[in-house]
Amino acid sequence: MNDKPNLIIHLTFNFSLKIIQFTEELESKRKFNMANQLFRSGTSIGANVREAQGAESKVDFRHKCKIAIRKQKKQNIG
């Protein structure tokens, strides 16, 4: 078992927390459509990265990472 912290999991989890906080601010300003889309795409990045960690093969891992990268580009965060 690997006891090293997984940096990408940590970063994407913290990013998701920030997205949640920001979407709550948007909702308080009644920007519901924008908040909903941002919430779904912003939190799915971490979910896709976490799913890739359990990939069945290297090809599957790369595929799942590519999905996470597409989500990241959609957010224009990198």
**Phi, psi values for residue 4, rounded to 5°:** -70, 140
Q: Tell me, what's the pLDDT at 25?
A: 96
DSSP state of 56: S
Please check whether residue 15 lies inside any domain of the structure.
Answer: yes
Please check whether residue 2 lies inside any domain of the structure.
Answer: no
Quote the domain boundaries for residue 24.
Answer: 7-75
Whether the CB-CB separation of 71 and 58 falls below 8 Å is answered with no
Report, as ranges of residue numbers, the positions in the chain whose pLDDT lies below 70: 1-2, 75-78
Q: 12-24 pLDDT, tens per residue?
A: 899 999 999 999 9
Q: How far apart are CA 38 and CA 36, in angstroms?
A: 6
CATH code at position 27? 1.20.1440.60
Please check whether residue 59 lies inside any domain of the structure.
Answer: yes
Q: Tell me, what's the pLDDT at 26?
A: 95
Please check whether residue 1 lies inside any domain of the structure.
Answer: no
Q: Tell me, what's the pLDDT at 78?
A: 45
| Model pTM above 0.85 | no
